Each structure stands twice: as C-alpha cells, then as structure tokens.
A and B are shown apart, each in its own frame.
Chain A
Amino acid sequence: MTALLEVEGLRVRLPTPRGFATVVDGIDYHVEPAQVFGVAGESGSGKTMSMLALLGLLPPGAVVEGRAAFGGKDLLRLRGRELRAVSGRDIGMVFQDPMTSLHPMLTIGQQLTEHMRRHLGLGRRAAGDRAVELLDQVRIPGPRSALHAYPHQFSGGMRQRIAIAIALACGPRLLIADEPTTALDVTVQAGILRLLDRLRREHDLSVVLITHDLAVMSSIADRISIFYAGRVVESGRRDELLRRPRHPYTRALLDALPHPEAARDTPLVAIKGAPPSPQQIPPGCRYHPRCPYAIEVCTMDDPPLVPTDGRRLACHVDPFADGE
C-alpha cells in the first residue's frame, strides 16, 4: 500500500530570545490510508510542532526542513493559495485544547460552514444541511439549534466533538488530531476515540493521533511512533510496540500507566527526571541521563533509528532484546 503521508527528515527550529531552538530534529514517519498513526511522548517532545509544520501553522520565524509528501506534493514547499487548497480540504486538524480552539464570537454554524462553502463551493443552505449532518455524526444533541449557538454554550467534550466536526467537514483524507482527548474526562474520551475509529472504518479516513497517553493509543492506533526530545526513539506496529517495547523510554512510558490488572495499591512508576529542553540537548543518546540501562557509548554516540525485529529502534543497549 502506498503511504498517504510520508514525512522525511522533518526538522523544526523556533526562534527564542536565546537563538533558535531545534524542537523537532529529523523525524521520519508515514501514514497509510485508513490507518490510525499514533504519536506518543511526554509533553514538550515536539509532537505539536511537528504537526503544525505540515500546514505552515508554526509561530512566526520558524524554520522548517525536510519533506512531507502528500498526494504528490511536498506540503513543506506549499505556500499561499496552494497550501490553503489542501488545508481544511484534504487535511483536517483538531487542536489540543477545545476551550481555545473555537472562536468565541462566531457561531458554531459559521465555523462549521465557512470552509465548506469555500472548498466545496456549497451554498448557504447546502452547507447548513451538511453542518447539521456533521453535528449529528459527532452526536451533538439538537444539531439544528446548535448551529446558532456559540462555543461557550457547550461543555469541553462537546466543543472537542464540534472541533472534530469542523475538521471533518470537507471530507478530508487525513485528520491530524492533537491530543483530542487530553482535556476531557474518561467517558468523553472513550466516545471520541470510538468516533475516530468509526470514521476510519466507514470513511477510509487516515488519522494522525497525538497523545502523551499510551492507554489511548492501545485502543485505536495501528502504528505508533514514540517521540522523545524532538526525535523518534521507537516506532512500529501497535501490538509489537506495546506488548514488547524495546526502547527503555517506551518501556518507562508503559510502566507509568495505571494497569487495569495490577493490584489497586501498586504505586505508579513515574519516569524519573524531566525531558531536556531544546536548548540543552545532552550529547549522545538524548535519553541517557534518565536511562537506567545507559552505558558509556550512550553518553557519546547518538543512536540511529534502525530497523530491528519488525520495528525501528534507536538504542545502543537494547536491553529487552531477548523479550524478557
């Protein structure tokens, strides 16, 4: 199967008061049609910036390198009209915080129809009808009257579903969802994940699902990449990765999860330390200061991401190679 989106060597540098910070440092991944591709990692690992780079949404002054092939074009080279033709049309985006990603002064109807009218050439009525359909699809009660309401009249979970409806309005081939469930409680979260799963099955939608919560991934992603400090440390099929994590960081993320089968009083194992800031990336493996398995080579050589056992792994030590 040919990939829908193929990202190679993506590098993002953001201007800071103390010069440029490389927040995404050479990332490769691909997304296949009708698949959910998961991106996980602690907060600050460059997940959001790597996605914003695709549609030219980075803060002003950002510098982007690499390639992002999508439908025969390189997204990173698109400008102006060409970029706008893809944005919102072929690629829909859902932002992290539903409380801030809807315009507080525009009605739901306006926000749901403006890009449909522009991209699909729909008239006011047709766009309105489709908007009602979409709201219905994301299970907003009373979709017709919801069109005239403003965001503040809805709860966070409903706003996030409205944001998803907006992202899906023009029938995109790819949905990029940045932590769409992080701000929500567990039941709402489950509902949104089910919705994404249904859209993938029924509409051949591909999804890039960003999260710092591996539990979310385990229920829906087909393939997963683990981000750490602007790099991919491990990537592969979900089952491989979650059942037999090979990178110590992946392992640590999984250990930090509350385990449904574990005894109730088992303490959560938080990962010690904090990820490095983009200004203070350590030499060698970026994870080595926090890694209990680090050996001397880890402090000097940056491990490349290489195919290992049906996945890609960036680790010198590979302490779990024998599937312990």
Chain B
Amino acid sequence: MVDAPRARRRPRPSSSFLRFLLRRLAALVLLAVGITLVVFVLTQLVPSNAVATNLGEQAAADPAAVAAFKAHYGLDKPLPVRYWLYLRHLLQGDLGQSSLTHDAVTHDLGQFIPATAELALYSIVIAAFFGITFGVIAAMRRNRPTDHVLRVVSLGGISMPTFWIALVALYVGFFKLGWFPGADRLDPGVLPPPHKSGLYTIDALLGGQWGLFAQALHHLVLPALVLAAFNVSLLTRYTRSAVLEVVGNDYVRAGRAKGLPERVVVRRYILRAALPAVVTVLGLVFANVLTGAVLVEKIFSWPGIGQYAYQAAVNLDVPAIAGVSLFVAVVYITVNFIVDILYGLIDPRIRVR
C-alpha cells in the first residue's frame, strides 16, 4: 500500500448522530430553564398590582381572598422561593390567570394558538416553497431576464413594510375586488369544525366537511400571503446567493462530468449543498412569521395569539404577557433546535464537532 490509511476512525453515522442529538437536547433544556428565569424576572419587574388586577375589586377587598391568592402564588415569600413556585406551577400547566379574560392563561393560549398556528403554517409553507423555488431559478438563470425580474420583485417584497402590504391586500382583495373575506377565520355565524387540532382546515378535512375546508382556506389566503410576502422575498434572495456560492464548486462540475441529468445535478449536488444556508433562513422566517403575526392578525381581525398579546400588552395583563412570552420563547428555541438537528442531518461534517 502506498498511502498509509490516514482516514479517521469511521464511527457508524447513526451513533455519532445520536450523540449529536443528545448534546443539542441538553442545550435545549438548559435554554428552556434560562427562559423561565427571564420571564419570571420580567413579571416581577412590571409595576402592577397583581392582587387587584387578578382578583377584581370585590375579591381584592376581601382579606381572606387576598391572602389565599398571595399564598397560592407565593407573593408573601422571597424571590427565589417565588421562582421555585412559579416553576412548579409551570410544570403543572398553571401560568396564572389573565386579568383581562379572568380565565387561566393556559386556557386562553389554547384558544388562540391554533389560529396563529394555522396562519403561520400556511405562511411558512408558502414562503418556503416559493422562496426556495424562486431562489434556485434566479441563481440558475443568473443575469438573465428571469433573474432580474425575481431580484427586483424580491427587493420590493423586502423593502415594503408588512403593514402596508397588508393594507393594500385588504383594500384590493377585499374592498375593491371582493374576492377574499377581510376578517376572521370563517364567515360570520358559521360554526367551526369539531375541535381536534384547532386548525380549521385540518379539522374540516378530518371531518370530511369540504365546504368548510374551502371556506377556511379562503379566509386564510390574504393574511397568509401577506405574512409570507416578506419571507418569500427573503428566502428568494438568500437561496439565490447560497446556490450561487455552490454552483461554481468542483463537486458540482464533477457531478456534471458523470453525465447526471441537470435536474439531478441541481437537486442532489447544488441544492443539497446550499441547504444549510437555506435552513438557517427558514429558522429566521419562522421567527419573522411569529413577529409579523401580531400585525397581520390585527389588520385581518384574526383571532390568534398576536391579538391576544396585543390586548394583554395594552391592558398590562402581566400573567397573559408572561404566558405569551414563554410560549413564543419556547417556539423560538424549539425552532432553533430543529434547525440545529437539520444541519446535522444535512451535513455529516457538523456531527463531528
């Protein structure tokens, strides 16, 4: 033999991946604990009278009720103990009571999250599909008319503020043309499908209610497109440059030299290599959609978590704000975790680190 085998030990891919997964999972748990701490401290910082806002005037006048309330939430105890209590309540699914709805915050979240989840899901699917497709097309047609058009359009999509896009969409799609409903998840007076996932389109499909499915979809079109617009543009641009980084690589040339069909070269050689960058942006898109939802839900009267957060913030409903913050933070770190795992799945070199 000529060349001493200098290959590193070859671990079975699955075992190295498992270790990678466990490391990330540990990081996830640590991060989650950190978030509860931050959220807890924030609730302590907000100057509001928890007793008054939570119990209402009558109960707040009753010393027994106040004492019971304080004991339940540990308001009479020192800060570390209160944090400990907060964590225990959290584990039992108790996020406190909204001072506005006088319902458990977890109950409220359960009410509002599905609407946002459905809107976000469609937006993200639209953004991912069109953004990646446009990005690849633009890169493969670099400096040709298709590329120029896509670049100009995506620049527009990035520069225009979402609220403006939302207002234009509402004005044109609803007022002018009347093609789409302008508010809510279903037409007025229509009963939602039996609750399974809380996503009306999915629940309607599960129940075989085609008309209801179509209606829910119809209601989703405008807000989902508006929420996707910025992100389609963002993804188009990032995908384009990620693909351009890759197309000139030797291994792409090597793929072509093997006589593989162009579509295989694009998918297996180019897109695959560009995917880590695209996945990073997808994580960003997820965050954008959640943030953008507050605005879009307001404009399209969409009964989601954004509306709930808005109301909570305006009314200084601390438990609700804390609940929403916790929810959003958990979504963020989960998305980050998934992105990390995807990196590992896509690029074997990452698992080694």
Contacts and interface: CB of A to CB of B under 8 A. Distances in A.
A84 B260 contact: yes
Among B257, B261, B346, B352, max chain A CB count under 10 A is at B257
Nearest to B276: A105
Given A87-B257, A87-B259, A145 B10 contact: yes
Contacts of A85: 259
Contacts of B142: 60
A100 interface: yes
B1 A57 contact: no
Contacts of A188: 2-3
B192 to A, nearest CB: 44
Contacts of B259: 83-89, 115, 118-119
A152 B249 contact: no
B258 interface: yes
Q: How many of chain B's residues touch chain A, expressed as a range?
A: 20 to 34
B7 A154 contact: yes
A191 interface: yes
Given A87-B258, A115-B260, A118-B260, A191 B2 contact: yes
A191 B3 CA distance: 7
B128 to A, nearest CB: 20
B254 A158 contact: no
Interface stretch (B84-92, B182-190, B227-235, B267-275): B267-275
Interface in B250-303: 250-251, 253-261, 264, 268-269, 272-273
A52 interface: yes
Contacts of B251: 100-104
Nearest to B345: A105
B6 A155 contact: yes
A261 to B, nearest CB: 25
A149 interface: yes
Interface string A258-282: 0000000000000000000000000
B148 to A, nearest CB: 16
A158 B258 contact: no
Nearest to A85: B259
A158 B257 CA distance: 20
A86 B1 CA distance: 33
Nearest to B140: A60
A106 B272 contact: yes
Nearest to A96: B250
A152 B352 CA distance: 10
A154 B6 CA distance: 7
Contact of B254 (A101, A141, A184): A101
A115 B264 CA distance: 11
Contacts of A118: 259-260
Among B5, B250, B251, B259, max chain A CB count under 10 A is at B259
B13 interface: yes
Contacts of A115: 258-260
Contacts of B249: 100
Interface string B1-42: 111011110101100000000000000000000000000000
A163 interface: yes
A114 B6 contact: no
Nearest to A155: B6
Interface string A187-226: 1101110100000000000000000000000000000000
A154 B10 CA distance: 9
A311 to B, nearest CB: 31
A254 interface: no
Contact of A103 (B6, B7, B256, B273): B273
A104 B347 contact: yes
Nearest to B251: A103
Interface string B164-184: 000000000000000000000
A186 to B, nearest CB: 10
Contact of B273 (A105, A141, A146): A105
A133 interface: no
Q: For the complex of A and B, list the 7 residue pairs with the smallest distance between their C-beta atoms, beginning with the closest.
A: A191-B2, A155-B6, A87-B259, A88-B258, A88-B259, A115-B258, A84-B259
23 contacts: A52-B253, A56-B256, A57-B256, A86-B259, A95-B254, A97-B250, A101-B251, A105-B273, A105-B346, A105-B347, A118-B259, A139-B2, A146-B10, A153-B7, A153-B10, A155-B5, A155-B6, A158-B6, A163-B254, A187-B2, A188-B2, A191-B1, A191-B2
Interface of B: 1-3, 5-8, 10, 12-13, 142, 248-251, 253-261, 264, 268-269, 272-273, 346-349, 352
Interface of A: 52, 55-57, 59-60, 83-89, 92-93, 95-97, 100-106, 114-115, 118-119, 139, 141-142, 145-146, 148-150, 152-155, 157-158, 161, 163, 166-167, 184, 187-188, 190-192, 194
